[in-house]
Amino acid sequence: MEIIPAIDIIDGKCVRLSQGDYAQKIIYNENPLEVAKQFEAAGLQRLHLVDLDGAKASHIVNYKTLQTISSQTKLKIDFGGGIKTDEDIKIAFDSGAQQITAGSIAVKSRYTVLRWLDKYGAEKIILGADVKDEMIAVSGWQENSNINLFGFLKDYVAHGIQYVICTDIAKDGMLQGSSISLYKKILQQFPSLKLIASGGVSDLNELNVLSETGLHGAIIGKAIYEGRISLVDLSKFN
């Protein structure tokens, strides 16, 4: 299982939110590159980089942070937040993203994401499924939809999606554990999916459970920044 540390960006700074609430913002570092280099030095190879300004503005904003990290580290970056148009996705890839995460756009403009899948290939596009009570949420979790998670996944899997990041909003930033039962349910229905856990990872034992469950990867944010999981621990896990 891949360990994927997360950096969330607001105003070019490394922050974390709780349950997607912009009012519950904590700034952890003014320099995201410094944080990324710490991850790289620990032997981690992936990075989940989220443009929270972009998610709110509905267009890519912090692409210069992406450029800086991609040009000064060897981390494989998946980038999300505000990617809504052909221009946005081009900027993300031109700025050094290896993959992009299609979240709200996958709900609001299915045809656009299917077109991107066809143009860029399934290795380049991650489906972002943000979930509350098994229903999809959009726009940085500021809106609920009436779309069921499993129907949503079934449609995209039928069109070739391979990678899915699933975030349970109730768990995100709370350090109270992942939605392991939800992930098991997803993998029972879609066993070939490269499912990436996101939200609530709080300790190393949980990472072991996620790995045994069959998760392709696990995104870790707050647990690192709050000192619950050390980079030394993660380097051993890798």
Residues taking part in catalysis = 8, 130
Closest CA to 47 of 94, 5, 96, 2: 5
Cα separation, 88 vs 154, in Å, equals 26
Token pair listed for 133: 């009570």
Helix (H, G, I), strand (E, B) or coil at 156: helix
45 forms beta bridges with: none
Three-state secondary structure readout of 37-60: HHHHHCCCCEEEEEEHHHHHHCCC
Closest CA to 165 of 192, 131, 140: 131
Q: List all residues 6 or more positions away from 46 whose beta carbon is below 8 Å from its beta carbon.
A: 2, 3, 4, 5, 75, 76, 77, 78, 217
